Chain A
């Protein structure tokens, strides 16, 4: 479904060149649950950002469903991000000004749905992650695990084909981490959502269908 071909990501300042990723060739198949593992600084998050079209590679191509997408214009990219991709961040990145349900609605805002429709779908997503009773709370009133669940609801409300999770359990204790993992696995098997997860926790990675290892920006077999 998603194919990375000859990907390279280099950060340049006036004097220093940092190679974050080099020579990455990777295919993410539909329906799989892929983990990306490696030590800190090996480029895992960068890889995820490229797959999620949040960033563009320095060289190489990103294919989505056979089409080269990395050079698309902002509007087209936005459309893809909105419809095909859902992102979950390690630090949740919920908007403190908005209530839980308003946060979850965000992807739907950019689809021109009427307000009532948005609300219905958001509530359904919150139900799916088990937060049906806290819809009008604000993020600061929730625990870490609950906040991450809101973030997941936000990521799935638009029914994306692929979920990208960047260390989703990194800021949570082990029990909450297991709960989150359970939700992700359920989404993968029941809804056939493709999941790509970055993690450094080997125990979690073993619960997934495939593990990709990175070291110093390169794939390791």
Chain B
């Protein structure tokens, strides 16, 4: 039975080549856009080395002080982290690091801009970077404020350091660093690990950072397990609530949310308890559905046309005993064949498009790829799309009166 459906499906699709082509074009184009968008979102949020333990890592990227008439937002300051974020219950490792600065180096009269991130030693033990040379600096280096640095492969190239940079000295931001390690490039959109060069934060030129409650620091905390995270968040909140603020007349409350990257991006107001990350999910899903609207209407139109064109065939089948269910089943098989073929074409096209986007350098160091997860999303989308665009036409078909269908007036 299925074999017959498939045989008819292929014959029909091949007979009306133009229709089939247009339907395939619509399906594969829609899938390409959705899959490329999904791949980019996956790149932003899904676990990707060096962020290997993303499910049990939370971070502080912003902090705020609120008063009656004013508010002040920035990243966390070193003092906030040092005083309140150390030794949280359930924390396996804690790391503090500065937001990257854009600094300049002038090798041989050329100007090279480098994103420099100053971190502690624990940074390298929470995030697993891919070292192609040497090793990271340690807590000891941090204590001694040694001018050592880790750079990326591309930075090594741009600074003309040749095949091996180990032990070489580079002058960046007016300071001379000794290279102790070289790592693979890190995608720009992975905010937590990203930089083009790393050095201990004690090498910063002035000590002023130590006194700041709000400043330029971030923190990541690797929890022992996921279950420990809510406890950590509560503890931090209560510690901050008891904090002594420098200007209590202007600012009464200090907040610094400890949460995942996704939640941090979904959060619009630092004061609320919950980041309402469902809102971000809903927006993304809503956006996808909105985009699919026009292609779906297009496909529905094509499907209805397809059915009306075969009205007399449908009439014949009904006259010889096909129930509406059987016919709808055949139609759905045809639609699914179309959708699956469109899906395959869409996949192939997505791979090419993603490669083109990665190569274009619009997003530096990006390597957008399809993985099995996105593949599954893609299949789900294709099926959803095929069903959605097939429901109404199938319903129309099942309501066809055999007599009228035979006359070809399938209204």
Contacts and interface: CB of A to CB of B under 8 A. Distances in A.
Give yes or no for direct A-B contact (beta carbon below 8 Å). Answer: yes
Interface of A: 49, 52, 54-55, 74-75, 78-83, 86-87, 89, 93, 95, 97-98, 106-107, 109-112, 115, 154, 158
Contacts of A115: 3
Nearest to B319: A87
A79 B321 contact: yes
Contacts of A154: 320
Contact of A93 (B8, B322, B401, B406): B406
Q: Is the interface of B mostly helix, strand, loop or mixed?
A: helix
B93 interface: no
Nearest to B323: A78
Contacts of A75: 323, 325
Contacts of B325: 74-75
A165 B317 CA distance: 16
Contact of A106 (B315, B317, B401, B403): B317
Interface of B: 1, 3-4, 8, 11-12, 15, 312-313, 315-326, 401-403, 406
Contacts of A111: 321
A109 B316 CA distance: 13
Contacts of B317: 106
Nearest to B401: A55
A49 B319 CA distance: 10
A54 B321 CA distance: 10
7 contacts: A52-B319, A78-B326, A79-B321, A83-B321, A86-B320, A110-B322, A111-B321
A178 to B, nearest CB: 26
A93 B11 CA distance: 18
Contacts of B11: 97-98
B406 A107 contact: no
Closest 7 CB pairs of A and B: A82-B321, A78-B323, A107-B320, A81-B321, A54-B402, A110-B321, A87-B319
Nearest to A92: B316
B316 to A, nearest CB: 5
Nearest to B324: A74
Nearest to A111: B321
A115 B325 CA distance: 21
A97 B406 contact: no
B316 A78 contact: no
A106 B318 CA distance: 10
Contact of B403 (A49, A81, A82, A112): A49
